[in-house]
Structure 1
Amino acid sequence: MFDNINIQRVLVAPLDWGLGHATRCIPFIKALQELGKTVLLAGDGPSAQLLQTEFPSLTLLPLRGYHISYAKSAWGLPWQLLAQAPSIFQTIKDEHAWLDAMIEEQQIDLVISDNRYGLYTKKIPCVLITHQLTIKMPFAWLERHVQKIHYSLINRFHTCWVPDCKGVQNLGGDLSHPLKMPAIPVKWMGLLSRFELSNQSADAFKYKYCFLLSGPEPQRTLLESIILKNIVDLKEPIILVRGLPSTSESIVTENVNLIVYNHLPAAELAQVILSSEWIICRSGYSTLMDLAALNKKAILIPTPGQTEQEYLAKQLSEQGIATTVAQSTFSLSESIAQAKKLNADSRASKELPFFNTNILQGLLLAIESL
């Protein structure tokens, strides 16, 4: 398909739907650097700011994001996304044209796109990273229809890398292991986490509760408000990481035991999580991979109406790895009571294999043989 492929300059571009797509790019950007590759980043907004914080020396190419916004209610989310469909497909078209220009200008040899469906071309190899080969929908007929459209987008790329494990022991369940696969080659990367793997368990926790916020607005802010109301009278040490890497605005809180950060770099955030007794967060896939890397269980609050997060939270709850609660009924005291019933011996990571540089080397060799 390609003659004399010599991969030296690699473009990495994550979707700007929350921060998870950017955070899970961190480990393979580091691996690309270990292999001596020149990495170029592309994006805008908070996700691009996060990667610039982690990799200040790398070039960031401005690329307009999808700028997805959520509804305030679960029932309104499908309609909100449907209303944004024309804008989404226009962005796909625009970034496709942008890539054609950038390939020559920046001498790009390989594109790695995390869920940005317009970053494909016939000129050079293009990889799509996604854990969501199946997009969960409320009706089976609708799910089949959406998957057909989804696969038509995936099949424009040369290969698909899935951040999960092949086989029965996996994290994504049906999301990453559909009955029917795309037409292009699919490779499993292992789990992707920005954190170093750890089995550390603290003898004494620094924080009683650690709240990790993420995801598109207005749902991020709505959950933040709910949390702040729940912790007004708590006397234990609490930490809240707001998931806002591109803002310097602070929030006013009545609780003197609360420490608030807009954002924390990966190494510092890992230490906060490890030194916290209880983790309360969304059930986004990248967040779950990070928790698995640190072998930490959590209380999961799926984004209302986001079927992927609801599916993952339910699956992990049934396995005794996490407790899940709806945002509309969240009570910290009740959630902690439920979480205490979790099996202390069940591992959050399920001993799943994680991505490493050797895996990446194999994936790149497979591309060079296309």
Structure 2
Amino acid sequence: MDSKTTKKILIAPLNWGLGHATRCIPIVNALIQNKYEPIIASDGEALTLLRKEFPRQKHFELPSYNITYSKKGSNFKRKLIKDSPHLLKTIKNEKKAIKEFVESENISGIISDNRFGVRHKDVPSVFITHQLKVLSGNTTWLSTKLHQKIISKFDECWVPDHGGENNLSGALGHCKFDKINVKYIGPLSRFNNTYHKPTFNLMVLLSGPEPQRTYLENKLLKDLESYTGKVIFVRGKFEAQQQKDVQNNITIYNYMTSGELEDAINKSDLVLSRSGYTTIMDLAKLQKRAFFIPTPGQFEQEYLAKILYAKGITPYSHQDNFKIEMLNTVSDFTGFKTDAFEINYRKLFSLF
């Protein structure tokens, strides 16, 4: 690849679960297909995943936000406020690192997926989010105002959703905003829908920050002891080596690559997972039936689960209330049914 003629684009997803990283995968592929050179920057499991997906691309490690949940979901907002000095320090260090990257790598464009400090005043900078409105209970107005103020410092904001009424993010991605150049680019998914006769009755797909990911894993493994169907269980732990364990009717993986995950979801009759937005986009693309358990205390996931329930698409349950028998209610819902669409990446990348 000729570095003199190929524009280098820095793409940096937040390391909070794996959703931000996985929804950047189709963007990285599109950059390569359109003759750009993507350079990947993140930290933790998000960076590990993208290194495995794109071993030939350059990778840089950014300062870690170290975002974790409180042990009780109801304390999440309080913990986030307590951690805010660390977050502000990390954003400052992030800006410093980006300044050095831009100078040393001759960066022509920046794409940040929810990393506040990944921008540069002299380089076209994009912020990816589906949350123009940030739900935080009785402080939603404040969190939304602060978030939109940060977004306004970027040249463009790409919302991975449809702009009309037939959308996935509801009020999160469709609200009033000022001084933000918003582009609705359509849902992002790394997967393709291929027809398979179901091999698995149930797929459990976990991800997200600790300790809530582990709590749900332990609960579901215990609950599934009475389940007689064939289960594939992906723990969402992106470690150095893939591990597989078979326990009676349950096949457990610590993680799967994109290709393996696409195949497994396509071959599963039903998916049980968190109601994270990236997961919703993936399941919509694959037109799957699903049951959601929102992460306790995360207003966004609770809201998304509720609007999909209200639309008759998927049922959901609070984590503490979930019982395996609830999966039987899925037959009362339509599941995801979406029309095919294509993102115009050539037009989107013209900013750079």
Give the TM-score normalised by structure 2. Answer: 0.94
Map of 2:267 onto structure 1: 275
Q: Answer yes or no: is the 8 Å Cα contact 2:11–2:40 preserved in 1.
A: yes
The structure-2 alpha-carbon separation of the partners of 1:89 and 1:104, relative to structure 1 and needing over 3 Å to count, comes to same
Q: Tell me the equivalent position of 1:243.
A: 236
- Structure 1: state its 5+ residue gaps: 1-5
SS at 1:109's partner residue? strand
1:298-325 deviations in Å (ceiling 9; x for gaps): 0000000100000000001111111101
User: Does structure 2 conserve the Cα–Cα contact (< 8 Å) formed by 1:164 and 1:171?
Assistant: yes
Distance 2:282 2:182 in 1: 23
- Report the Cα offset of residue 195 of structure 1: 0.4
Pairing 1:195–2:185 present? no
Question: 1:170·1:352 contact (CA, 8 Å) conserved in 2?
Answer: no
Q: Which residue pairs with 1:311 in the alignment?
A: 303
Q: After TM superposition, where is structure 1 displaced by more than 2 Å over at least 4 residues in a row? A: 233-236, 246-253, 349-353
The one-letter code of the counterpart of 2:172 is L
Aligned to 1:169: 166
Contact (CA 8 Å) 2:244, 2:253: kept in 1 or not?
Answer: no
Superposed CA RMSD in Å reads 1.8
Shift of 1:233: 3.5
For each residue in 1:313-353, what CA deviation from the matched residue of structure 2 results, as whole angstroms up to 9, or x when unmatched?
000111111110110111111x212112113xxx6143264
Structure 2 CA distance for partners of 1:183 and 1:168, relative to 1, 3 Å:
same
- In the alignment, what sits opposite 1:100? 99
Letter of the structure 2 residue corresponding to residue 291 of structure 1? L
Q: What amino acid maps onto 1:360 in structure 2?
A: Y
C-alpha contact 1:191 1:352 (8 A) present in aligned 2? no
Task: Give the Cα separation in 2 of the matches to 1:150 and 1:21.
Answer: 17
Superposition deviation, residue 54 in structure 1: 1.0
Change (3 A) 1:235 1:246: same
Partner residue in 1 for 2:336: 348
Distance in 2 separating the partners of 1:226 and 1:250:
20
Distance 1:237 1:150 in 2: 43
Which string of whole-angstrom CA distances, capped at 9 and with x for unpartnered residues, describes residues 83-130 of structure 1?
111111111111011111110101111000000010121111111001
Unaligned runs of 5+ in 2: none
Instruction: Work out which of the residue numbers 355, 362, 368 in structure 1 matches 2:347.
Output: 362
Cα deviation code 1:241-289 (max 9, x no counterpart) = 0111125596988x42211111111111111111112210000000000
Displacement of 1:165 in angstroms is 0.8
1:106-185 equivalent positions in 2, closer than 5 A: 106-139=105-138, 142-178=139-175, 180-185=176-181
Displacement of 1:236 in angstroms is: 2.5
Q: Which residue identity is paired with 2:136?
A: M
Counterpart amino acid of residue 82 in structure 2? A
In the other structure, the counterpart of 1:3 is none
Q: Which residue of 1 aligns with 2:282?
A: 290
Output the CA distance in 2 between the equivalents of 1:194 and 1:109.
24
What's the secondary structure of 1:40's corresponding residue? strand
Change (3 A) 1:172 1:352: farther
| Percent of paired sites with the same residue | 38
Q: Is 1:328 aligned to residue 320 of structure 2?
A: yes
> Does the 8 A contact of 2:242 with 2:253 survive in 1?
no
The one of the two structures with greater contact order (alpha-carbon pairs below 8 A, sep at least 6) is 1
AA aligned to 1:28 is I
Aligned length: 348
